[in-house]
Structure 1
């Protein structure tokens, strides 16, 4: 398998297909690069070089005990970009991956990047604080951690069966293959990485990171997102980004790159070509 070893000794798995301008995909919690299958195949067919890695502790990457925070996530992404010598790259991040992209651009600079897209992403800040009253209570994320530590397999069925893809909405037919694939990806990863990752995606404040990014950034968010609620995420990120462009999807769920791949792929392609 193609892997790199980071400066702190962690083996990171990645996919690197095709040629042309690179598009780099950062996945959500607790999944893997496989969650981007519909995008990788589409953009490969459009003549792009597509790259996606498994975050440390996720998928086929090494299940280390430490480093499950946004700084390490960003540094690992930078290591992949530098190892492959990617330039003029478009960075696309879904959910936690959106936070990874934002922290990477703010921390490592924009020299190798051209544009970015944030899909149902966690910035600016998910958890409720005095300064962020619209966020979700910390108890929500404490519950996530308890389930990961004690009931992970069942929890990883309940999330995709319900809110992640909007299969709990009236009139929406669950797709067993999609649910099983989410569970498969989640169970490939390590419980410790996923446990710590809850803190990383929920308690990291990306406000200053967003303000630093001068590249054009497309912010894509569904207004029926039950995982990263729309009002406290997409619109606020777009406002903080100097060149942020907000695109709102009526009724779309958190997992819209899978459930509505045709729409998301077309809009991404238009943005990249613009």
Structure 2
């Protein structure tokens, strides 16, 4: 399997297909690079080099016990881009992966970055505070960790068959294939890494990271996102970056790169080619 080794000795699995301008995909919790397969094949066919990695503790990367925080995630991403010598790259982050991309630029700068797309991202903060009243209370994150610890196989099934893809909405037909694939990805990763990752994406504030981003940023978010509240995140993210565009998708769920792949891929392509 293709891997890189980080400065702390962690092996990170990655996929690297094609040639041309690189597009680097950062996945959401508790998944793996497999969640980007539809996007990677789409952009491969359009002449791009596509790269996606499994976050440490997730997928096929090393199931280490430590380092499950945004600073380590960002540094792992930097190690990947440096060891593959990626330049003029477009970074695409979904959910927690959006936080990873923002922190990566906040810590390592934009020298290798051309554009950024943040999809259903956790930026600038998911947590409810006096300054972010539309965020989620701490109990919501505690519930994620409690559900995972009590029995993640059943808990993950419930997330995938319910709010993640909006399959709990009236009139929405669930896709058993998507549910199974989400569950498969989640169960491959390490439970401790996934448990710690909840704290990583929930507790962080990415405001200062976002302010450092001057390259074009496309913020893509569904207004029926039941995982990352739209009002608390997307509009604020687009305002904080220096060159941001907000694209709101009426009725789209958190997992819209899978459920509405044709729309998301087309809009991403238009943004990258602009």
Specify the TM-score bucket, using the shorter chain as the normaliser.
over 0.9
Instruction: Name the counterpart of 1:2.
Output: 2
Is the 2:14–2:52 Cα contact (8 Å) retained in structure 1?
yes
Paired residue secondary structure (1:151): helix
Instruction: Name the counterpart of 2:77.
Output: 77
Is the 2:95–2:228 Cα contact (8 Å) retained in structure 1?
yes
Please report the RMSD computed on the Cα atoms of aligned residues, expressed in angstroms: 0.6
Deviation of 1:135 after TM superposition, in Å, equals 1.1
Paired residue secondary structure (2:192): helix
Paired residue secondary structure (2:104): helix
Q: How does 1:209-248 map to 2 (within 5 A)?
A: 209-248=209-248
Deviation of 1:133 after TM superposition, in Å, equals 2.0
Matched, 1:56 2:65: no
Instruction: Name the counterpart of 1:130.
Output: 130
Is the 2:133–2:232 Cα contact (8 Å) retained in structure 1?
no
In 2, the alpha carbon distance for the partners of 1:199 and 1:93 equals 18
Q: How does 1:17-96 map to 2 (within 5 A)?
A: 17-96=17-96
Matched, 1:199 2:199: yes
TM-score by length of 2: 0.99
TM-score by length of 1: 0.99
Paired residue secondary structure (1:7): coil
In 2, the alpha carbon distance for the partners of 1:267 and 1:130 equals 34
In 2, the alpha carbon distance for the partners of 1:23 and 1:143 equals 34
Deviation of 1:148 after TM superposition, in Å, equals 1.3
In 1, the alpha carbon distance for the partners of 2:42 and 2:133 equals 39
Deviation of 1:106 after TM superposition, in Å, equals 1.1
In 2, the alpha carbon distance for the partners of 1:127 and 1:133 equals 8
In 2, the alpha carbon distance for the partners of 1:11 and 1:150 equals 29
Instruction: Name the counterpart of 1:171.
Output: 171
Matched, 1:106 2:97: no
Instruction: Name the counterpart of 2:13.
Output: 13
- Number of corresponding residues: 274
Deviation of 1:151 after TM superposition, in Å, equals 1.2
Q: Which runs of 5+ in 2 are unaligned?
A: none
In 2, the alpha carbon distance for the partners of 1:226 and 1:244 equals 23
Q: Which runs of 5+ in 1 are unaligned?
A: none
In 2, the alpha carbon distance for the partners of 1:198 and 1:84 equals 29
